[in-house]
Amino acid sequence: MKPTNPKTAAVRLRSISRLRPTLAVVLGSGFHHVLSELEVEKKISYAKLPGFPPVGVSGHAGKLYLGKLGGTPVLVLSGRAHFYEGHSMERVTFAVRALAAFGIRDLLLTNAAGGINRNFRAGDFMVLTDHINLMGANPLRGPAIPGLPRFVDLTQAYDAKLCALLHRAGRAGKTKTRRGVYLAVSGPSYETPAEIRAFARFGADAVGMSTVPEAIVARQCGLRVAALSCITNLASGISQRELSHNEVLETAECVKTLAAVLLKNFAKYYGRNQ
Ligand code: HPA
């Protein structure tokens, strides 16, 4: 079957609302509560958007929202397809290509991650300064896409101005925002303590199973990218506890209001800086 062109999904999106945000936010575990702060103008299920993947992790809704957050027009993706679910990289990153075709210029990716940096605590937020891709795959592998760069520069994958806005948004809500390097694995098993010791030596501060493919594709499409992790647990071997998805969800629940305020303030400052 021929893959869907992201432009088809973008045309559909343009037909459902007149709102033309330049900022999009992808909600990972821990960040969905921000939807309660969103003045929703239109909401559409991924199932109605050609090429959008079905989403699997519990608590993720599979819906796209157009609305205003902190007074700023935004497009919000609630839920994402993960590589560990068995989707191809093309499918995992399809929505990002559709957003670029729609006219989004700035993308904020959020996720839950395990803390490797010994100074981190569960419930902290980390603004990504850079990433290490250990997923074993790159979303740009495959035929070259006409009009887009084949070899994408990732020297400044995460935009300094957007990162500064995230830190400012943190300060406004009295939430400390840390900074660090996110290392992406394919999952879905959690890491071994030996892997985490190795990742610490690589220079990683946190580990997770998403975000990096979307960031790479967004850079290929010329979007500015920022990413924010909720440190939902200490990584394997750093924590004395067994790791579980329940722990991830419990921490996410505890900090959901802080996360929502952070995102709302980010959108507000973003709007003022346009
Ligand atoms: N490892 C990988 N992914 C994660 C973790 C972790 O410890 N916590 C949340 N997502």
Of residues 105 and 187, the one with the higher pLDDT is 105
Point out the ligand 1 atom lying closest to the alpha carbon of residue 234: 7
223-269: pLDDT as tens digits: 999 999 999 999 999 988 888 888 888 898 899 999 999 999 999 99
In whole angstroms, how large is the CA radius of gyration of the chain? 17
136-154: pLDDT as tens digits: 999 999 999 999 999 999 9
Distance 193 CA to ligand 1 centre (A): 13
Residue nearest to atom 10 of ligand 1 (CA): 113
What are the pocket residues of ligand 1 if the criterion is a CB atom closer than 6 Å to any ligand atom? Answer: 112-114, 190-191, 207-209, 232-233, 235, 243, 248
Q: Is the alpha carbon torsion for 218, 136, 91, 62 positive or negative?
A: negative
Long-range contacts of 85-88 (CB under 8 A, 24+ apart): 85/56, 87/53
151-181: pLDDT as tens digits: 999 999 999 999 999 999 999 988 999 999 9
Half-sphere exposure of 29 (CA within 13 A, CB side): 27
Distance 231 CA to ligand 1 centre (A): 8
Strands 224-234 and 23-27: unpaired
Residue nearest to atom 7 of ligand 1 (CA): 114
Mean pLDDT of all residues belonging to the chain: 94
pLDDT of residue 56: 57
Distance 164 CA to ligand 1 centre (A): 25
Q: How far apart are CA 14 and CA 43, in angstroms?
A: 12
**Nearest CA-CA partner of 79 in 97, 91, 64:** 64
Q: How far apart are CA 66 and CA 126, in angstroms?
A: 26
Which residues are catalytically annotated?
A: 29, 60, 82, 84-85, 112, 209-210, 233, 245
Domain 6-272, CATH class in plain words: alpha beta
